[in-house]
Structure 1
């Protein structure tokens, strides 16, 4: 009887590059409820991104279209074959506004996160590696920013940028700048703590000994090892970006309906409809906000659980001890018969 030799670890095929991506790598490590949460969040977020990208193709009408081939749409029309989700108090198609609103929300997330990550990581790298008076002043300013609510900063930014009546990019920049100002201290502190840990490692000291420049050490050695927790913060801040944009629109400081579709604005205009029994003008924009925030939050919470060893569930072994004993009994009996 020929025995199978186990494959050494060095001879195993390395996983494909896409399996080492931040979210996909955690998906392979997750089990049970964690995997269910992460998969649900990924599905919802993927649908949101696809709808946002394909909004011009999926939406039956434009976001500011009031007239069709048969004339005006009419205000507060119930769901029908012409308007699957009805029309708003302003005469816009609800389905089209919801689909186009996903595109606006995605643009805000991209602009806000890119600005926050770029500035926060750069400041965290500089303060953590250089230290001194620059580090102390930056940390004091970062702590002071926490005292200001993000929505208040968003309102001020909207008024400064566009006088409170925003165009498409004016509203996006108003929300993105406010989110950037509030979230920079988070990236700064996380990256700074990692830089303080990494710069004392042996490989950094070796780079200094061989004469590597400060810039090369900071960006090639320190930065690459100080950004492991950024995917977690990015997911959580993305949901906050959507809520900030919706809050601006709900309070009347968002984007004008003729410039772009925005879920918060549609919710604000549908307040009077709720008391009149007109439910379709408010439920669908509100449901879109809830689902997108839920999907992104599920991804962030799952990544947080997987990053914490105390919350990470143990993966069940592929073969239980009882199964291993049962599988080994026939071979043991055969060997015992040969010996006898």
Structure 2
């Protein structure tokens, strides 16, 4: 898609194309040097994770709960071979298939938990920041109190309450998602509330009040769209924490049963005894999957957060690439290009 052109004054100005203005593409074009390398690495790892989750039925050679094929049972703790490239677990499951199917479970928890917390946190922060008064004070106190709860401890309590500690697919997903949602709501609440307090003092909000716009219209039509620009940054950071919470639940024995879904933390829990026996493949691959996914999402989040800071972005641009100087006559006798450089003046003297 070609760039658009518009006229400003007497000079045509080329506007960037729609492709270059897309969120991730725009940040990628802004980044330079090491920061760009970190962002690309994070995007590659995260993209591979999402691709594995979407294509799990095609990539995994076996089902997540499959114990046998036409040749018979897989066998427990079998080393890597042509039939099982990453070996089998102590329960007789194929490690490679469990790792691939586990990406679907991780994506499901991220989607459910983060989306629920975004809706609740944004709504509460918008109402609290705009209305103020006793409503604001009560919501701030409640969110500060909830924020003090450890997410993993709350997840364990929710798992016991919902499923009695023996989780099927939806029970385990809801136990992890609800606990993560409760802990994440204060984060979105704080960000949206601070932005709402700042934006409601702007001139366009005062103009909307003068024109007779209702409070709901002002909040959702004028303030909301300007207060949610930092949400993608928080989303990426919270997604990695959601994966760790789900893995922690499974590792402590409150995860999803292997016959209901594949979950990396549960597989790590069952491979503890294998480590002391020299059986490394049952624990290495699920552990590496957790580390890589969290690393990839964190790299993306930190890179976007870094690029959102104008001071760091300007510094990197100044250090990495030269900024072209417009040939405008701002000094007596001609443009800036006609002014001799300081080094030239010193050399002549």
TM exceeding 0.5: yes
Q: Which residue number corresponds to residue 83 of structure 1? A: 84
Higher mean displacement: 307-316 or 155-164: 307-316
Q: Distance in 1 between matches of 2:300 and 2:175?
A: 26
Q: For each residue in 1:9-36, what CA deviation from the matched residue of structure 2 results, as whole angstroms up to 9, or x when unmatched? A: 6733433334333332211111111111
Task: Measure how far apart 1:279 and its partner are.
Answer: 0.6
Q: Which residue number corresponds to residue 172 of structure 2? A: 171
Q: Distance in 2 between matches of 1:180 and 1:134?
A: 22
Q: For each residue in 1:183-235, what CA deviation from the matched residue of structure 2 results, as whole angstroms up to 9, or x when unmatched? A: 10010000000000000000011111111121111111010110111111000
Q: Which residue number corresponds to residue 140 of structure 1? A: 141
Q: Distance in 2 between matches of 1:83 and 1:13?
A: 56
Higher mean displacement: 7-16 or 202-211: 7-16
- Structure 1 residue ranges, 4+ long, deviating more than 4 angstroms after superposition: 7-10, 318-321
Q: Distance in 1 between matches of 2:321 and 2:220?
A: 39
Q: Which residues of structure 2 form unaligned runs of 5+?
A: 1-5, 327-336, 339-349
Whether the aligned pair in 2 keeps the contact of 1:22 and 1:231 (CA below 8 Å) is no
Q: For each residue in 1:292-336, what CA deviation from the matched residue of structure 2 results, as whole angstroms up to 9, or x when unmatched? A: 000000011111211223433125126699xxxxxx99xxxxxxx
Q: Distance in 2 between matches of 1:318 and 1:193?
A: 34
Q: TM-score, normalised by structure 2?
A: 0.88
Higher mean displacement: 12-21 or 112-121: 12-21
Q: Distance in 1 between matches of 2:286 and 2:17?
A: 40
Structure 1 counterpart SS, 2:254: coil
Whether the aligned pair in 2 keeps the contact of 1:63 and 1:96 (CA below 8 Å) is yes
Q: Distance in 2 between matches of 1:42 and 1:72?
A: 39
Whether the aligned pair in 2 keeps the contact of 1:120 and 1:187 (CA below 8 Å) is yes
Structure 1 counterpart SS, 2:104: helix
Structure 2 counterpart SS, 1:311: helix
Structure 1 counterpart SS, 2:312: coil
Q: Which residue number corresponds to residue 317 of structure 1? A: 322
Q: Which residues of structure 1 form unaligned runs of 5+?
A: 1-6, 322-327, 330-340
Q: Which residue number corresponds to residue 180 of structure 1? A: 181
Q: Which residue number corresponds to residue 244 of structure 2? A: 243
Structure 1 counterpart SS, 2:238: helix
Q: Distance in 1 between matches of 2:123 and 2:12?
A: 40
Q: Does 1:64 align with 2:69?
A: no
* Structure 1 segment 102-113 matched on structure 2, within 5 A: 102-113=103-114
Q: For each residue in 1:61-82, what CA deviation from the matched residue of structure 2 results, as whole angstroms up to 9, or x when unmatched? A: 0000001110000000000010
Higher mean displacement: 68-77 or 22-31: 22-31
